[in-house]
Chains A and B, each alone.
Chain A
Amino acid sequence: MSTSLKIKQLFSFLVVLLFSLSLSAQEKHTISGTITDAANGETMIGTNVFMEPIMKGATTNVYGFYSLTVPAGDYTLKVSFLGYETYTQQISLTKDFDFNLELKESAYTKDEVVVKGEKKDENTKSSKMSTVEIPIAQVKELPALMGEVDIIKVIQLMPGVQSGSEGNAGLYVRGGGPDQNLVMLDEAVVYNASHLFGFLSVFNADAIKGMELTKGGMPAKYGGRLAAVLDISMKEGNKKKFEMEGGLGVINSRLTLQGPLVKDKGSYIVSGRFAYAGLLGGAIADMATKDNDGGTGGFFAGASYYFFDVNAKVNYTLGPKDRIFASGYFGRDVFGFKSSDGFSANIAWGNGTGAIRWNHIFTPKLFMNTSLIFSDYIFEFGAGQAEFELTLRSGIRDYNLKLDLNWLPDVRHNVQFGGNYIYHTFTPSSVSARTGDTQLDLGGVIKYHAHEAAIYIQDDWDISDRFRVNAGIRGSLFAHTGPFDRYGTNEVGQVVDTTKYNVGENVKTYAYAEPRVSGRVMLGKNNSIKASYTMNYQYIHLASLASISFPTDLWMPSTDKVKPQEGHQWALGYFHNFLDDKLEISVEGYYKTMKNLIEYKDGFSPDQNINNNVDNNFVFGKGNSYGAEFFIRKNGNRFNGWIGYTLAWTNRQFDDLNGGNWFPATYDRRHDLSIVGSYKINDHWSVSAVFVYGTGSAMTVPAARYFVNGNIVTEYGDRNSFRMPDYHRLDLGATFNPKQKRPRRFKSTWNFGIYNVYSRQNPYFIYFATKTSEEDQTISIEARQVSVFPILPSVTWNFKF
């Protein structure tokens, strides 16, 4: 079936669907409002609002808003959220009704410990599939590398999600690259979500309210990426009282302040982290600069490293229908070193984001959010030796205007529509250098300017108790515009001519329609089958020199040379809940195709970007990935945890790489297993454990060698044809809440962790060293595996008052 035919069919489907909305003539009324947490006034995402006896309900959106339109009559309204007391009220609905509610946390008892934030049967009943939600409270209970709680690393324990390498905070979802994830913090795109060369993510768990990862069946409201959406919401701040919490950890210290601006009307939160200066640098530099003899010599002995980040947010309720939010994030990593022979370098990178959002309730059935968002990522590198100085900068900056409307015409439809516009400025590479008094001609700063726009409409349609469908379509457009100089190159890559584009002049425009559909069929009360198809276009690309995500990676727009990435994903899943929804089981299979992927051409070195367009150095290819994900999760009482297993393949084919043959992607993992559990022993102690196993990463290794000029030249084998040893690791953790003789405001907890309990030497990288013996002039080559984290105990102290 052609794409255009598919799009036509989807449009007809949407028309039928929207027409059906206006058919029902019975008198109806709407009950709507916002659900908040009674303890701190935070809006609650995903709370169930349910009407008996018609057994229809709604869940609150990310702003805590819900709306239910039902026939006039008498009902029992129930509002429930796991871990909170269910609220019940008799109502006689004779007119539209505003109903806001503060939900109270359940009283804690020894026998019944519940995890906050779980929606009971959402996983079988909703039309959503391939999504991951993990409550922050649960994230904080699991053991973490050096005690640093990291939501990204917990997401990596879910089936279908992998990390790039040991300790890496990158996300590789269903065979997609790290650039194919839309990572958003309060709707602002975070382009590089890592601190510490990827060992830690930029997301501070103390400032985060919730997160959702969409691996497949991406709804039409999201776009611009092929693989996944990670939507992270910041806390809004305690509306009731001032609160301070923080912690002292092995790597960094944290402090969060929150409180009311005007009681029950507005609040603020400020949260910061700072990693102790100068400590990590030496170790990391040592690791990265192993010499041929495996020594970790003193070349980078003068290294220093620090990072920090700050999250801040304020919100204010202007009236019953209006609320505004302003939030921001700013973080930087700074690494510097000076060697004994006069070489010095500074590397700094980080994100800055800001968002102003306005919620407005037009009618009880129509909710609007409009956002003005700023995102910025920069990477800077400066180096000098003797007379030579070099400065390199790259980055991306976005201004984004978004409008999202949520129309809930009746209890069976949830329609979302809207649009957004982004103005991108890419600086893939700007280099300046001088030697002595001579300023080298490096072509100045080459920027790429682009406009990206999209409109979408989707309806989550509860057709009958058995069938539910979420169908939508997204229209997207991308235009690369001047000022821009296109350098024409000859067959050996030399620049031979230049085409100039003026300010605002169109260089290349792309426009596509992206149909999305997912559906659910209930098989019984507790089990369902779901299927989805999505088509996505991605207009920005990440050009990476390394096999894992690094801050040096360059963001590039689609241009006249670089076509947008195109992705199709099909997924099918079976979902079954047992034991009153306390045990969830699911199996999902997926198949994905990707087109117009980019890589640097063979033999590329960064200086080839100078006085040239970066995209003149790219080669283009395609990819596929497929696999099956098995998931069992136990929720509820003392014990919480899950087992996730993924069997997967992901491959790439580039005409200009590996002789044009297909090869496995670097992050192709045949088997990936995670076992996660936490157990509450009593009011003071809880323990947790994580075990992970994964097939070794694919890498390219030398196959042959020869001599030229008396030195060894290495010839590599097929791309990624070699597997590193398998990865596995067990972590243990314990949380201690000290007894308090009498209730006090000040509370503290201790987190103890052991990372890699049996000290498995997992490969971080493998390198090949040539050794020349001075005695008998023999030369040997050996493969050496470097592991970074053996058994690592950690202690973190957290406080709150």
Chain B
Amino acid sequence: MNRFFASISILLAVLVGFSSCEKVLDIDLPDAVNGIVFEGYIENGTFPYVLVSRSENYFSPINTAAEAIINALVTPDSVFITVDGVRTAMDKTCLSELSPEEKELALEFLGFESFPDGLDLCLYLKFSMQGEYGKTYRMTAYVEGKEYNAVTTIGQPVELDSLWYKDELPIDSFGSIWCRLSDRVGTDDYYYMWTENLTEGRSMYAIDGSPSFGDRLFQGETIEFNFYQGSNLANDNGNPDAEPWWFREGDTVIVKLGIIDRAVYDFWESVDAASNLNPFSAPTPVWSNFDNGGRGVWAGYATTVDTFVCVLNP
């Protein structure tokens, strides 16, 4: 009888194993509304900048991420930041206007590891302004005759208590960086995580997976969690040896933790939710803190950084 069941099992495994199949489908998508997208950041101690672009049809071809980003860029009529009641115009700055050294620094700052020759990228920034803890910044942009506004706050930073490195995979030397965090009592805090792998020469990226989280589940408590490696489409160097999520023993890593406001948290959570849909999910819209149909985010970050060498505990 056992043999009988065993053979039925094999039959079934074969049947089901071969049963699912897939094919590429040609489909007519609904007409897209080409909205204006902002990606603006201000962090304590650094100058604010914003990229303004337009959303594109979902299937429109992309040669490279850099090219796609540049092709989508829009030149606003003007962009202002208001802080403490003072309104300041931001300056349009293009890569082509920078010296080679400045350009390399700017690209790293923007998260590009390589950038095609002959392309230019223009953004709006204000070198003379620096983000300060506890301040609220309003961005006002005039694009194609429409006004868009968003407000963000750089909160008060939170420091990590301690950091350590832990093996996570059966494969030797792949692991993640663990930390202990004491959440503040009595305030709703929202966090954002980045890492920069100096050993691998990677830029500072938001960690892969879910870089934002809130303290709703551990209000005022001390928790432990881990940092993975970050990446984005624009910097994927296709190194087959690299386990994209994991650090290796010996890596020197800058770990950055930011406090964000609720609207920025909602934006990143919705980006995360929209990118993690299963085929049966209801579609998830991505929020924005811009009014007037603007997409994207104007994000203030109150950050602290630690430089850490990945060494297993003796």
The A-contacting residues of B in range 284-312, CB under 8 angstroms, are: 284-287, 295-297
| Complexed CA–CA distance, A706 and B54 (Å) | 7
With beta carbons under 8 angstroms apart, the residue of B15, B37, B262 that contacts A146 is B15
Known: A341-B169, A438-B218. A250 touches B8 (CB 8 A): yes
Q: Mark B168-209, 1 if CB is under 8 A from A, else 0.
A: 111000000000000000001000000000000000001000
Contact B283 A716 (CB under 8 A): yes
User: Which of these binds chain A: B77-85, B134-142, B271-279?
Assistant: B271-279
Residue of A288, A494, A712 with highest tally of chain B CB at under 10 A: A712
User: Which of these binds chain A: B17-25, B92-100, B145-153?
Assistant: B17-25
Chain B residue numbers with a CB within 8 Å of A777 are 63-65
Contact B18 A790 (CB under 8 A): yes
With beta carbons under 8 angstroms apart, the residue of A290, A702, A719 that contacts B29 is A702
A761 is an interface residue with CB less than 8 A from chain B: yes
Distance in angstroms from A482 CB to nearest chain B CB is: 25
A322 is an interface residue with CB less than 8 A from chain B: no
The A-contacting residues of B in range 80-111, CB under 8 angstroms, are: 111
B254 is an interface residue with CB less than 8 A from chain A: no
Which residue of chain B is the closest to A700 with respect to CB atoms? B283
| Complexed CA–CA distance, A492 and B169 (Å) | 39
Distance in angstroms from A695 CB to nearest chain B CB is: 15
Known: A548-B280, A700-B282, A701-B29. A711 touches B275 (CB 8 A): yes
| Complexed CA–CA distance, A765 and B285 (Å) | 20
Distance in angstroms from B303 CB to nearest chain A CB is: 15
A-B contact count (CB 8 A): 251
Contact A707 B281 (CB under 8 A): no
B160 is an interface residue with CB less than 8 A from chain A: no
A294 is an interface residue with CB less than 8 A from chain B: yes
Contact A283 B19 (CB under 8 A): yes
Please give the number of chain B residues whose Cβ is less than 8 angstroms from any Cβ of chain A in the complex: 88
Chain B residue numbers with a CB within 8 Å of A248 are 4, 8
B223 is an interface residue with CB less than 8 A from chain A: yes
Contact A761 B21 (CB under 8 A): yes
The B-contacting residues of A in range 383-438, CB under 8 angstroms, are: 386-387, 433, 435-436, 438
Which residue of chain B is the closest to A341 with respect to CB atoms? B169
Which residue of chain B is the closest to A433 with respect to CB atoms? B217
Contact A707 B279 (CB under 8 A): no
Which residue of chain B is the closest to A777 with respect to CB atoms? B64
Distance in angstroms from A103 CB to nearest chain B CB is: 40
With beta carbons under 8 angstroms apart, the residue of B17, B64, B170, B221 that contacts A340 is B170
Contact A547 B25 (CB under 8 A): no
Contact A250 B11 (CB under 8 A): yes
Distance in angstroms from A741 CB to nearest chain B CB is: 26
Contact A792 B15 (CB under 8 A): yes
A107 is an interface residue with CB less than 8 A from chain B: no
Contact B232 A711 (CB under 8 A): yes
Distance in angstroms from A13 CB to nearest chain B CB is: 44
| Complexed CA–CA distance, A100 and B120 (Å) | 94
| Complexed CA–CA distance, A286 and B17 (Å) | 9
Distance in angstroms from B260 CB to nearest chain A CB is: 13
| Complexed CA–CA distance, A708 and B286 (Å) | 11
Which residue of chain A is the closest to B282 with respect to CB atoms? A547
> Which residues from chain A sit less than 8 Å from chain B, CB to CB?
146, 248, 250-251, 276, 279-280, 282-283, 286-288, 290, 294, 296, 340-342, 386-387, 433, 435-436, 438, 440-442, 492, 494, 545-548, 550, 599-600, 602-603, 605, 607, 610-611, 700-719, 721-722, 725, 761, 764-768, 770, 772, 774, 776-790, 792
**29 CB < 8 A contacts A-B:** A248-B4, A276-B12, A280-B16, A283-B16, A341-B168, A547-B280, A547-B282, A548-B280, A603-B287, A610-B217, A701-B27, A704-B34, A706-B56, A707-B65, A707-B68, A710-B69, A711-B232, A713-B295, A717-B31, A718-B30, A725-B25, A765-B280, A774-B238, A778-B62, A779-B68, A780-B61, A780-B62, A784-B22, A787-B20
